[in-house]
C-alpha cells in the first residue's frame, strides 16, 4: 500500500464518515486469561466515546511504511490452502459475526503475544464504498467498488497515576485514584490490503509501534509469513556490514558519502511526490562504495555479507538505515552532533601520529551556554 492509499483508509476513522457496524473486543489479564469480551453496535456508543475509540484504532494505520507499517505478502498456495489466510477471510466475509472465527483469532493472539500487564484486543470491520473519479478529479455518485476490510488493534491497558485535584465548585482538594486506560496500539494489522484502491487478498498491512521489537511468534501465528527484520535491527546490521566489509577503507569520508547519497535519494523521492515507497538494493550501495573509491575486494566482501544477512535480492527502506536529520561523530568519551547539511565542517586528521577530529568553527562557539573566544 502507498502512503496515499493508507491515508484514504485512515480518513475512514472519522465519526461522520465511518461505516463501521460494530466493535468487538477481548480483555486479557497478566496471566493470559480472558477477563471479558465485548460486542457492541457502533451506533449505540456515545459520540465522545466513539470518537476516542476511532482515534485509538486509527493509530494502527500510522507511522512510516517499511518501519511501522510492513507489507505482508501471501503466496498463491497460502491463499488457496493456508489456514491462517482462511481465518482472516472468514472474519472479513462474516463482518466479524462468525463467533468461532473471532474466538479463534483471540486465542491465536493470546498464545503468541507476550507483554507485561493487561491488554485489549479490538476488532472492527467496515464496508467502504470507494468513490470513483473522472480524469478531471470529479467525484462520481455511483460506485460499484466496495472495499470490506478488518482492522485488529492490540492495546495495552495501563494504570493512571494518582493525583491531587482541586474541585472549584466544592472549594476543596481531592485525591484522584488510580484508574485503567486504553493506551495506543502496540501492534495490529489490516486485512486485506487496499492496493490500487481495491481489495488485494494476497496482502495484509502489519503495524508495529516499536520498530526495534520483533514479534516473531505473533507474525508466525497470525500470518505464517516471513517479514523483514525490525527497522532498528536493519540499521544495526547494515552499519555492521559496512564496518566489517569495507574495513581499512571505512573512513570518515566514506561513511559521510554513504549518508549523503542515501539522504539525497530520500529527498529526491519526497520532492517527486512518488506514491510507491522508496527502496534501495545491494547494488545501490555497491555503486555508492565504488564512487567512494572503496577497493573491489572490500566491495565483494560487502556483497557477500549483505547476502548472508539480508538475502541477495532483499530491498531495504533507506529510512531504516539512514536518519537524514541526524549525523553524529562519537568516541568513547565525546559525542559530536552535526547538522547533516554541514558535514563539511568536520574532518579527521593525524597530527604527529595522533588521531584528531577537527571541527571548523565559523560562527559563535558556546561552552555550557557561554560564548567563548578562540584565540
Whether 222 and 205 have beta carbons less than 8 Å apart is answered as no
pLDDT at 135: 63
CA distance 295 to 291: 10
For residue 290 the three cell numbers come to 565504488
pLDDT under 70: residue ranges of the chain: 134-143
- Grid cell in block for residue 252: 570518515
pLDDT value, residue 205 = 95
Q: How far is CA 341 from CA 264, 326, 327, 336, 346, in A?
A: 11, 10, 9, 14, 11
Spatial neighbors of 75 by CB under 8 A, at least 6 apart, are: none
pLDDT, residue 247, reads 82
Q: SS3 of 174, please? A: strand
Grid coordinates in use for 304? 557477500
**Rounded distance, CA 70 to CA 88, Å?**
17
Q: What is the pLDDT of residue 371?
A: 86
**pLDDT confidence of residue 140:** 65
So what's the pLDDT on residue 141? 63
Q: What is the pLDDT of residue 138?
A: 65
262 class by beta-carbon count within 10 Å (0-12 exposed, 13-18 middle, 19+ buried) = buried
Confidence at residue 19, expressed as pLDDT on a 0 to 100 scale:
92
Question: pLDDT for 250-283, tens place per residue?
Answer: 888 888 888 999 999 999 988 888 878 888 899 9
- Enumerate the β-bridge partners of residue 172: 167
pLDDT at position 137 is 63
Domain ranges of the chain: 3-222, 229-316, 325-375
Collapsing DSSP to helix, strand or coil, 355 comes out as strand
Cell of 32: 493470559
Task: Strands of 278-364 (E only): list them.
Answer: 327-330, 335-338, 346-351, 354-359
| Portion of the chain with pLDDT greater than 90, in percent | 49
3-state secondary structure 234-283: HHHHHHHHHHHHHHHHCCHHHHHHHHHHHHHHHHHHHHHCCCCCCCECHH
Amino acid at each position: 500500500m502507498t502512503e496515499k492509499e493508507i491515508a484514504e483508509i485512515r480518513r475512514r476513522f472519522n465519526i461522520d464518515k465511518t461505516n463501521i457496524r460494530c466493535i468487538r473486543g477481548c480483555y486479557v489479564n497478566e496471566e493470559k486469561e480472558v477477563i471479558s469480551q465485548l460486542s457492541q453496535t457502533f451506533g449505540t456508543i456515545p459520540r465522545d466515546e466513539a470518537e476516542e475509540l476511532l482515534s485509538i484504532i486509527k493509530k494502527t494505520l500510522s507511522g512510516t511504511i517499511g518501519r511501522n507499517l510492513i507489507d505482508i505478502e501471501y503466496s498463491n498456495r497460502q491463499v488457496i490452502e493456508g489456514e491462517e489466510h482462511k481465518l482472516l477471510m472468514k472474519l472479513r466475509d462474516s463482518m466479524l459475526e462468525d463467533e468461532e472465527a473471532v474466538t479463534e483469532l483471540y486465542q491465536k493472539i493470546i498464545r503468541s503475544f507476550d507483554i507485561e500487564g493487561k491488554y485489549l484486543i479490538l476488532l472492527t470491520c467496515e464496508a467502504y464504498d470507494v468513490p470513483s473519479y473522472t480524469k478531471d478529479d470529479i467525484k462520481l455518485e455511483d460506485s460499484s467498488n466496495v472495499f470490506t476490510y478488518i482492522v485488529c488493534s492490540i492495546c495495552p491497558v495501563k494504570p493512571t497515576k494518582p493525583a491531587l485535584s482541586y474541585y472549584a465548585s466544592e472549594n476543596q482538594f481531592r485525591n484522584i485514584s488510580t484508574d485503567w486506560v486504553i493506551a495506543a496500539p502496540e501492534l495490529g494489522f489490516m486485512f486485506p490490503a487496499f492496493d490500487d484502491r481495491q481489495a488485494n487478498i494476497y496482502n495484509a498491512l502489519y503495524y508495529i509501534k516499536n520498530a526495534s521489537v520483533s514479534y516473531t511468534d505473533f507474525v508466525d501465528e497470525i500470518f505464517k509469513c516471513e517479514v523483514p527484520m525490525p527497522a532498528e535491527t536493519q540499521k544495526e546490521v547494515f552499519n555492521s556490514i559496512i564496518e566489517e566489509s569495507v574495513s581499512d577503507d571505512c573512513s570518515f569520508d566514506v561513511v559521510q558519502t554513504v549518508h549523503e547519497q542515501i539522504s539525497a535519494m530520500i529527498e529526491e523521492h519526497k520532492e517527486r511526490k512518488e506514491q510507491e515507497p522508496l527502496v534501495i538494493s545491494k547494488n545501490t550501495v555497491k555503486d555508492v562504495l565504488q564512487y567512494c573509491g572503496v577497493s573491489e575486494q572490500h566491495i565483494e566482501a560487502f556483497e557477500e555479507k549483505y547476502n548472508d544477512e539480508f538475502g541477495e535480492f532483499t530491498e531495504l527502506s533507506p529510512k531504516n538505515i539512514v536518519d537524514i536529520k541526524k549525523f553524529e561523530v562519537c568516541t568513547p568519551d565525546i559525542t559530536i552532533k552535526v547538522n547533516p547539511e554541514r558535514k563539511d565542517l568536520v574532518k579527521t586528521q593525524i597530527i604527529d601520529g595522533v588521531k584528531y577530529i577537527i571541527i571548523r568553527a565559523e560562527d559563535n562557539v558556546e561552552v555550557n551556554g557561554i560564548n567563548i573566544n578562540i584565540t
